[in-house]
Amino acid sequence: MIKTGEAAKRLGVSIVNGFTGSPIWHLIYSFPAVPAKMIDDGYAEFAKRWIPILDVYHELGVRFALESHPTEIAFDIASARRTLKALDNHSNFGFNFDPSHFGYQGVDYVSFIYEFAEKIFHVHMKDAEWSDTPTEAGVFGGHTEFGTKGRYWDFRSLGRGKINFEEIIRALNRIGYKGPLSVEWEDSGMDREHGAKEACAFVKSVDFPPSAIAFDAAFEK
């Protein structure tokens, strides 16, 4: 990870997106009962491994953005909050915001933006669909492949899922996010060339700059 930061520095890249892994993800379903100390120890182990890396990133002038994601130390708002606490809110650690991993979990992805406004270092534009009725394979996927009929959720081409990008853009504008909107495209049921064109057009259509004045400011004259 440090070598990645060094490479980023040489390339003039200021943010490295990636995963951290998690020493406690296998304990996500607490049965048999998981003692609180095991979870505490997991976050302590994470901090022990990552604070030295982040200290080097600080020296390099590079920031690390974790994509909050199932299997990672932070996968929703509660775990993201705890992750930052474990790192003592390290200045060089933040998040790559990707709403597709929150929607099917039932996580309020717009609230994530507001809560961690100073820590949104990068944004993935990625959509997901989830069922409104019972399915064969639930939230955990049932060990099925993406695109399999009967899954509770799946990734979709931008604009074809349930993610509310209108509210995401408005939230990003409110917090003053100036970074890229990076398309991450995964749709097992669509040709990728078609999807690339469609996704590009969708991002251009949904992205808009914030207003520099209040809408009724004209009445002041």
Owner of token pair 């933006």: 113
pLDDT above 70: residue 5: yes
CATH of the domain at 49: 3.20.20.150
Range of the domain at 91: 2-207
Lowest mean pLDDT among 97-106, 141-150, 208-217: 208-217
**Per-residue pLDDT tens digits for 48-61:** 999 999 999 999 99
pLDDT at 218: 60
Structural contact between residues 105 and 153, judged by C-beta atoms closer than 8 angstroms: no
Is residue 221 in a domain? no
Query: Domain for residue 212, yes or no?
Result: no
In a domain, 47, yes or no: yes
The count of structural domains within the chain is 1
173 located within any domain: yes
Q: Which residue has the tokens 């944004």?
A: 123
Q: Please give the biggest Cα pair distance in the chain.
A: 68
Q: What is the C-alpha separation between 188 and 148, in angstroms, rounded?
A: 9
Mean pLDDT across the stretch 79-104? 98
Q: What is the pTM of this model?
A: 0.94
**Residue 131, in any domain of the structure:** yes
Does residue 139 lie in a domain region? Answer: yes
Tell me the mean pLDDT in the region 70-75. 98
For residue 221, pLDDT beyond 90 = no
Residues 127-153 have a mean pLDDT of: 97
Res. 34 pLDDT band, cuts 50 70 90: very high
Residue at 27 is within a domain: yes
Lowest-pLDDT choice from 15-24, 74-83, 93-102, 212-221 = 212-221
- What tokens appear for 59 in the block? 């020296």
Long-range pairs, 81-86, Cβ under 8 A, ≥24: 81/115, 82/43, 83/43, 83/46, 84/116, 84/119, 85/43, 86/43, 86/44, 86/46, 86/47
pLDDT category, 168, cuts 50, 70, 90?
very high
Phi, psi of 47 (to 5 degrees): -65, -40
Answer whether residue 214 is part of any domain: no
Average pLDDT rounded to a whole number, residues 70-99? 98
Over residues 180-199, mean pLDDT? 96
Here the tokens at position 102 are: 């929150």
Q: What are phi and psi of 109, to 5 degrees?
A: -70, -25
Residue 101 φ/ψ region, left for φ over 0, alpha for ψ in the -120 to 50 degree band, beta for the rest:
alpha
